Amino acid sequence: MGVEPQSAIAGQAEVKGHENQQYCGNIANAIVVARAEMQQKRLVELEQQLQQRLTEFQSRRSQFQELLDRYDALIKKTDDTLINVYSKMKPESAATQLANLDDESAASLLLQLKPKNSSAILSEMDAFHAALLAKKIVVFSSLKHGPQKP
């Protein structure tokens, strides 16, 4: 009689172990499916957030492009007006004013004037400053049109 209770306990433990394995085996697929569903749901949420941010970015990009276009149009209009002013000035006066501008701005203005006006203005400047501006004009011109072949 003393042996039977131990074997009964061992048998129950074996049955419990088998039931536990069977239970784990039965829910393993459900756990994998549930995890996959959670990951899929998270991916959908992240995709929606990404799409929302992309839409916001595109909207802001459009706004910035519109501002940039308006700015470019204003600069172009101002440049055209300024070119007209300098083209109608006496070369001596234009040379004096251009000498007080930074070299890039002065060279840019001279480049946009008709060659006749530019040469008249450059001839009224001191030789060093005129040569410096002429070099800048060559650099700007090569950037705009590509390097000249010899």
| pLDDT tens sequence for the chain (150 residues) | 444 566 656 556 666 667 777 777 778 888 889 999 999 999 999 999 999 999 999 999 999 898 888 877 766 775 888 899 999 999 999 999 999 988 888 988 898 899 999 999 999 999 999 999 999 888 877 766 655 554
Query: Whole-prediction pTM value?
Result: 0.48
Say if residues 140 and 107 touch (Cβ distance below 8 Å). Answer: yes
Q: Give residue 31's identity as a one-letter amino acid code.
A: I
What is the b/e burial string over 90-102, where b = at least 16 CB atoms within 10 angstroms of the residue's CB?
Answer: ebeebbeebbeee
- Write the burial class of residue 82 (CB in 10 Å: 0-12 exposed, 13-18 middle, 19+ buried): middle
DSSP code of residue 2: -
Rounded Cα gap, residues 65 and 127, in angstroms:
43
Say if residues 94 and 86 touch (Cβ distance below 8 Å): yes
Q: Crossing angle of helices 115-124/3-88, nearest 10°?
A: 80
